[in-house]
Chain A
Amino acid sequence: MSAEGRRLYWLIQWRRNDGLGALFLVLAAFVVLYAVLFPGIFAVGALAKFVQGWFPTAMVAAAQTIVMLTGGIDLSVGPMVSLGSVVAASTMQGPLGIFGGVLAVLALGACVGAITGSFVAIGRYPAIIVTLALSFVLRGVALLILPRPGGFVPPSLSEFLAGSHPTAAFLLVLFVILWKLYQATPLGIGLIAVGDNAEGAYRSGVNVTAVRLTAYILSGVLVSLTGLYVAAQTGSGDPVIGEPMTLAAIAAAVLGGVGFLGGQGTMRGALAGSLLMSVLINVMFFMGLPLVAQYVVQGLIIVCTVSLPLLRSTWQRAS
């Protein structure tokens, strides 16, 4: 890359922060508040624990963002996390051990993503109803495999992923690097193009079907791996553990400025959105609020963040 090209790249990257300023400010304020309430946070161990709490939300938010950028939506995120955890916990006793379990979870995510993607990208059925129906199927399959929480996750894996090591933080960094690399491929660039204007993208030579299909497969793999991580965290598989994550994923993405109609939003925004929610829950916990109050706050935050820009544009038109 020439010097001029590099300058242009960073300029564009900087421009993509537009509209995220408020989110970053609020996030910084809450992080400071959290640090004041809980001064021990900056020790390596406490930080590792904090990132472990944030990691599942961050991953499902990232998966939801990939799909939403193409103009779709995935309402089966929660049941998919549950199914991932169930599959992980019931395959790791097998002859292949941890390796077999990871392989099974990867295959599961890719298969379900491919099914969703085929319906949406090739069949052109509305993503909302396809993923809603699939959420039934996935929940049912999870209940059939493990009717109640159980299964087995090797303690060594739990210790590695969710113990005292900052593994989750490294995984997060790894994900961001992989995401940047993906954005440099034709399929990655196509994500936003297809979501913004599918017809225009098609006329410019973007393979619209392939972009959509891979988006759903990638998102499926991310979500099922989140299930594996949750299983490692809790030490067992649970057929309903993911239920609240559907909303959390959408909330984090919307909070991060990812638009509903596709083509709008950034991964850094979605990750910041999920971090804000995670910090918020921690702060509320420290202030002694009941855990269910977080639902109320989560709902209010979503409504406010979505309606503020709408209100602002209405005022601008009026004046």
Chain B
Amino acid sequence: MATGVVNTVFRLRSFLAAYARSLVAYGVVAALWIAASLLIAGFGAYAHLRYIVELAAVIGLVAVGQTVAVIAGGIDLSVSAVITVTAIILPLLSFDVDVSGLGAIALALAVAAGIGAVNGFAIGFLGLPPLIMTLAMATILQGLLVLIAGGSAISVSNATLDWLGSAHVLTVSAGIILWLAVAGACLFWLHGTRSGALVFAIGANPIVSRLSGVPIPRITLAIYVLSAICAGLAGLLLLSMNGQGYVGIGDPYLLSSIAAVVLGGTSILGGRGSYLGTIAGAVLLVTMTALITVVNASEGWRSVILGCLILGMLPLSGRDQSR
């Protein structure tokens, strides 16, 4: 019996030690929410906090793939382009036969997965640097989108998306539930399965991983497909909240997804971190934006404060140990 207790305590302690950096962001969010609720009338209302989490759900979904890519020592700079792609092609994929709209959604996500597969293949099998491959992909998609869609906004009517954008289950928005479900699956994959552990191994030391027989190309492919699908889901959620897709709809989400990952304590150098922290990072970002909006700051101030926030949180994300 005693060993069982010791074992549990030990596991709890090692968990806390490993994820202490991820938990800092939760403390900051809690402190901000309590302080803001006391100081600003209406901030602490359930509906307002729910609205903050709803906005965070979009960032959080994009950041699922971003977190996994960063833990594996990579980065995905094409997420904003993938968001825009799904938000723009979904209206083009609607058919009369497809009453529920699920078919169009599946097709749009398949397109996103295809983009991710191209990224993953080039990075995993050809060995292109993730930064250059995903940046180039973002540029290509950006050009293609303007060529295809032009400057106009495209409205959508899709039964499933309408439900996603407006429904509440026990007063919790459907978008938040979607986020929680994806987050739970991601956490289980990263921390509860063999292939999830290999993601950490690749990020911590790719050479040792390769020599130990880790199928790096296959896992890398899976990571970037996952990242693109998550970005696609975020694009659909965004579309359901917005009602319209247009070129540039996904642009703000590239930097905020990376910021959420960094604020959540995941090391940008790979090998260390958890999606647990990213959840708090996403909520923290939206909370900060909401607070800045309350004091009526302009877009310029918002950008400056966001940048300084990331710089200030750098010590959490880890230093370059190699030199």
Contact = CB atoms under 8 A, between A and B. Distances in A.
Contact of B131 (A73, A130, A144): A73
Given A136-B306, A290-B147, A296 B140 contact: yes
B143 A294 contact: yes
Contact of B143 (A132, A136, A295): A295
Nearest to A248: B139
Contacts of B300: 139-144, 147
A198 B323 CA distance: 7
Contact of A199 (B138, B299, B323): B323
A260 B131 CA distance: 9
A129 B140 contact: no
Contacts, number: 137
A134 interface: yes
Given A73-B131, A292-B147, A307-B122, A140 B136 contact: no
Given A130-B311, A292-B147, A144 B304 contact: yes
A136 B304 contact: yes
Contacts of B305: 140
B132 A254 contact: yes
Contacts of B311: 119, 130, 133-134, 137
Interface in A11-25: none
Interface string B126-138: 1111011101111
B157 interface: no
B132 A260 contact: yes
Interface in B275-323: 298-308, 310-311, 314, 317, 319-320, 323
Contact of A310 (B128, B262, B304, B323): B128
A125 interface: yes
A199 B304 CA distance: 35
Interface of A is mostly: helix
Interface in B132-180: 132-133, 135-140, 142-144, 146-147
B75 interface: yes
Nearest to A144: B300
Nearest to A127: B320
A119 B315 CA distance: 11
Contacts of A260: 129, 131-132
A128 to B, nearest CB: 7
B112 interface: no
A310 B298 contact: no
B132 A247 contact: no
Contacts of B147: 290, 292-293, 296
A300 interface: yes
Contacts of B255: 132, 136
B320 A140 contact: no
Interface string B32-44: 0000000000000
A107 interface: no
A295 B304 contact: no
Contact of B126 (A124, A129, A250, A310): A310
Contact of B319 (A123, A143, A298): A123
Contact of B139 (A119, A290, A298, A307): A298
Interface string B225-241: 00000000000000000
Contacts of A296: 139-140, 143-144, 147
Contacts of B140: 295-296, 299-300
B139 A140 contact: no
Contacts of A144: 298, 300-301, 304
Interface string A272-296: 0000000000000000001011111
Contacts of A208: 323
A136 B139 contact: no
Contact of A292 (B132, B143, B319): B143
Interface of B: 75, 122, 126-129, 131-133, 135-140, 142-144, 146-147, 255, 258, 262, 268-269, 298-308, 310-311, 314, 317, 319-320, 323
18 contacts: A124-B319, A124-B320, A128-B268, A129-B268, A130-B314, A134-B307, A136-B255, A142-B300, A147-B300, A292-B142, A295-B146, A296-B143, A298-B143, A299-B140, A299-B143, A302-B132, A306-B132, A310-B127
7 residue pairs, one from A and one from B, having the closest CB atoms: A136-B307, A295-B143, A140-B303, A140-B304, A143-B300, A299-B140, A137-B307
Given A125-B319, A144-B301, 7 more contacts: A124-B319, A128-B131, A133-B310, A137-B304, A141-B304, A247-B135, A293-B147
